[in-house]
Chains A and B, each alone.
Chain A
Amino acid sequence: MSAVAEEGSARAPWALTAPALMLFVGVLLIPLAMTVMLSFHDWGQYKGIEPVFILKNWHEIATDPYYAEMFWRTFRIAILTTLLTALLGAPEAYILNRMDGRWKSFFLLVILGPLLISVVARTLGWALLFGGNNGLVNKLLMSLGVMRSPIPFMFTETGMVVALAHVMMPFMVLSVWAALQRLDPQIENAAMSLGAGPGTTIRRIIMPQIMPGVLSGAIIVFSLSASAFATPAIIGGRRLKVAATLAYDEFLNTLNWPLGAAVATLLLVALVLIVVGSNALIERRYAEVFR
């Protein structure tokens, strides 16, 4: 009797999670496995995809400097975006946290605003402002005589970093904000009573405590920027490709699916390694703050 009940209760969690598990396996694990498999297949202009096991695609990525440049650019943009969001987002969250109730919720909404707008619309907005001679800001600056030629924005890495940083800012602000909520409300007073000035308090007391928030925000921003598609596609287009747009082009323009799959797989593996690695590092380094 009790054995049956126990058996039933042991099976219950599996039964209850089965639908979600099946969905997870069906729409994530299987396509992912198929993509990895695909990256080992052969492809030819006239013969199409051949389901054989060869290392041709991987060999090409490893040896052709074109791909190295592409991945290096991807991670350079992601790192710069992460740094920019951290440098702007952490102070932003700190200031936001010190605001009065009403202003706080208003500005929180302003910061979350970008998330409410489609990434395409938002990036096109940047293009309208800075795109070539017809960009609004460029026109204004040139008519004022501040500058002769438009600010280079479209098809530049700078443009991509700025546009990405704008998109990613909410993730950094919210993540630092969460860390700030964990702070003892009297901690700054405590530091002040011991003789610390505002600068010292921020550097010695506040910063170390919100560092985990900054770093977890950085992980989110980095992985999202490195795998971002829409923003690089619009700002960079064909001229300035990153890993995600490269994979897209291989799939849909060249129709070399196996090579595209290899690029996508490499991006995924590199990201997972970076994220898991840095997460482990952060958790060890900041064990005391996380407790």
Chain B
Amino acid sequence: MAYLELDRVAKQFGTQTVVDDFSLAVGKGEFISFLGPSGCGKTTTLQMIAGFLDPTRGAIRLEDKDLTAVHPAKRGLGIVFQSYALFPHMTAAENVAFGLEMRNVPRTERAERVRAALAMVGLAGFEDRHPRRMSGGQQQRVALARALVIKPSVLLLDEPLSNLDAKLREEMQIELRQIQRTIGTTTILVTHDQNEAMSLSDRIVVMSQGKIEQIGTPQETYEKPASAFVSQFLGKTNDFAGMIDRTVVPTQLVAGSWRAPAPAGLGGPVTVSIRPERIGFGDAGLSAKILTRIFQGNHWLFQCDSECGPAIVIRQNDGQAQPVEGDAVRLTWRPEDMSVRTRAVA
């Protein structure tokens, strides 16, 4: 049974529909990411769950109870804001204690829980620091402790790591995942960073222009993108224009000089999508010329000009000799690594 359920939720600002027909069932303890470019409605959806915005249509239910009828102050959700929104006039401990004070938790228990929460996020000994005297990463941890100390039914994270530098962000990702696993709080993360979404979540909700494009595990969304948008947004991808040739038996899928038995159920012009790391250099296949070759440590990145337009190829740096710029190559891939969609012809 769904723990948190969004049922055909929509939000309109004037005539503009920001979120439309958003349905999602979140299981207890699940870590869900709303992933999409800015303006896709992911933050708006989060704010509707938090109660800062009222949905125009649809229902939000927590454990089968209508959440939209509950005042935001009574929802008992933990929220970490992009800007952290810490109270600058209070110390770290006072910040964390605020939610417990509002719940009338007795003083001794409060102190104990605040200490434990700060210790959990690795800030033991920082109790008396004021937020403005802390680094971005430390403020982030205080914000997380403040949201978790109230034992929220759902933890909402609004782009919490986007203000941190790359290295710190990676550390925090790992830590966030560990903390979430340990205490098992149902968590919803809003992010535009696909790596963050993939490394943290059990499931990803890919959004675009207010609509859900795909809901799936990180692997599913990456390997089996439901739409062109998803495959473009989640990592790099190559889209080649292909054609299903029904004049031969068995029918064949043709893209330039690359051909393979056609998948069932499709005909006419199609788009073939392949991830750059699934393309290899072979003796037969799509003919292409290497334009640039970039060394990136553990892998090589090739930009090629192929029969079917520009192509990107990523090869592991396994010590084998790699083609150089200007080489004519043949690009090849296994049929199971590609996804084929019908292509609309203008």
Q: A interface vs B, CB < 8 Å?
A: 184-187, 189-197, 200, 204-205, 208-209, 286, 288-289, 291
Alpha-carbon distance between A288 and B92 when the two chains are bound, in angstroms:
12
Given A209-B89, A288-B89, A288-B130, also A193-B102 (CB < 8 A): no
A193 to B76, CA, bound (A): 7
Contacts of B232 in A (CB 8 A): none
Query: Which of B74, B81, B146, B147 contacts A186 (CB under 8 A)?
Result: B81
Interface bits B20-36 vs A (CB < 8 Å: 1, else 0)? 00000000000000000
| Known A192-B51, A194-B99; further 12 A-B contacts with Cβ < 8 A | A187-B85, A189-B79, A189-B81, A194-B146, A194-B150, A208-B89, A209-B88, A209-B89, A288-B89, A288-B130, A289-B89, A291-B133
- Contact A193 B89, beta carbon cutoff 8 Å: no
B contact face: mostly helix, strand, loop, or mixed: loop
A228 to chain B, nearest CB (A): 33
Q: Contact partner of B132 among A190, A193, A205, A291, CB < 8 A?
A: A291
Q: Give CA–CA (A209, B73) in the complex, Å.
A: 21
Contact of A195 among B85, B88, B99 (CB under 8 A): B99
What distance in Å separates the Cβ of A181 from its nearest Cβ neighbour in chain B?
14
Whether the pair B103, A195 counts as a contact (CB closer than 8 A) is: yes
* Cβ–Cβ contact B77 & A193, under 8 A: yes
* B74 proximity list for chain A (CB < 8 A): 195
> Cα distance A204–B133 when bound, in Å?
20
B78 proximal to A (CB < 8 A): yes
User: Who on chain B is nearest to A291 by CB?
Assistant: B132
> Can you pick out 30 interface pairs between chain A and chain B where the beta carbons lie within 8 Å of each other?
A184-B81, A184-B83, A184-B85, A184-B86, A186-B81, A186-B83, A187-B87, A189-B52, A189-B72, A189-B79, A189-B81, A189-B85, A190-B79, A190-B86, A191-B87, A192-B73, A193-B75, A193-B79, A194-B102, A195-B74, A195-B103, A196-B102, A200-B102, A204-B98, A205-B87, A209-B89, A288-B88, A288-B132, A289-B88, A289-B89
- When C-beta atoms are compared, the residue in chain B nearest to A208 turns out to be B89
Interface of A is mostly: helix
Docked pose: A208 CA to B87 CA in angstroms: 10
Q: How far is the CA of A193 from the CA of B50 in the complex (A)?
A: 7
Interface centre among A189, A204, A286 (most CB of B within 10 A): A189
Cβ distance B72 to chain A, nearest Cβ, rounded Å: 5
Q: Give me the 3 closest cross-chain CB pairs, A-B, nearest first.
A: A195-B102, A194-B99, A190-B85
B113 to chain A, nearest CB (A): 13
B residues neighboring A (CB under 8 Å): 50-52, 72-79, 81-89, 98-99, 102-103, 130, 132-133, 146-147, 150
Are A197's CB and B73's CB within 8 A? yes
User: A185 to chain B: which residues have CB within 8 Å?
Assistant: 83
Q: Name B146's closest neighbour in chain A (CB-CB).
A: A194
Q: How far is the CA of A193 from the CA of B150 in the complex (A)?
A: 10
Closest Cβ of chain A: how far from B88's Cβ, in Å?
6
A186:B85 contact, CB within 8 angstroms = yes
Q: Which residue of A lies closest to B77 (CB)?
A: A193
B83: chain A residues within 8 A (beta carbon): 184-186
- How many angstroms between the C-alpha atoms of A203 and B62 in the bound complex? 31
Residues of chain B within 8 A (CB-CB) of A288 are: 88-89, 130, 132-133
Residues of chain B contacted by A204 (CB below 8 angstroms): 98
Residues of B within 8 A of A192 (CB): 51-52, 72-73
The smallest C-beta distance from B34 to any residue of chain A, in angstroms, reads 18
**Contact status A191-B89, CB under 8 Å:** no
Bound complex: CA A187 to CA B81 (Å):
9
- Residues of chain A with a CB closer than 8 A to B89's CB: 208-209, 286, 288-289
Minimal beta-carbon separation of B134 from chain A (angstroms): 11
Please pick, from A189, A196, A208, the residue contacting B50 in the complex, using a CB distance under 8 A: A189
Nearest-Cβ distance from residue B196 to partner chain A, whole angstroms:
20
- Bound-state Cα–Cα, A195 to B74, Å: 6
Task: For A205, list chain B residues within 8 Å (CB).
Answer: 87
CA A192 to CA B146, docked complex, whole Å? 13
- Measured CB to CB, the closest approach of chain B to A39, in angstroms, equals 44
Distance in angstroms between the alpha carbons of A192 and B78 in the assembled complex:
11
Q: Smallest distance from the beta carbon of B83 to chain A beta carbons, Å?
A: 5
Q: Do A194 and B98 form a contact, CB below 8 Å, given A189-B85, A288-B88, A288-B130? A: yes
| A200→B103 CA distance, assembly (Å) | 13
Query: How many Å lie between the Cα of A84 and that of B130 in the bound state?
Result: 32
Determine whether the beta carbon of A196 is less than 8 Å from that of B88: no
Indicate if the CB atoms of A195 and B50 lie closer than 8 Å: no
Alpha-carbon distance between A289 and B130 when the two chains are bound, in angstroms: 9
**Across-interface contacts of B146 in A (CB, < 8 A):** 194
Q: Taking CB as reference atom, which chain A residue is nearest B89?
A: A208
Report the minimum CB–CB distance from B317 to chain A (whole Å).
44
Q: Which residues of A contact B73 (CB under 8 A)?
A: 192-193, 195-197
Q: Give the most central of A187, A192, A193: most B CB within 10 Å.
A: A193
How many Å lie between the Cα of A191 and that of B74 in the bound state? 12
Q: What chain B residues lie within 8 Å of A200 (beta carbons)?
A: 102
Instruction: Give the docked Cα–Cα distance between A195 and B146 (Å).
Output: 12
Establish whether residues B52 and A196, one from each chain, have CB atoms under 8 Å apart when the complex forms.
Answer: no
* Residues on A with beta carbons closer than 8 Å to the beta carbon of B82: 186
Closest Cβ of chain A to B299, distance in Å, is: 40
Q: How far, in Å, is A90 (CB) from chain B's closest CB?
A: 16
CB distance from B102 to the nearest CB of A (A): 4
Shortest CB-to-CB span from B239 to chain A, Å, is 39
Whole-angstrom CA separation of A38 from B34 in the bound complex: 76
Residues of B within 8 A of A286 (CB): 89
A196 close to B98 (CB less than 8 A): yes
Tell me the complex Cα distance, A94–B87, Å.
18
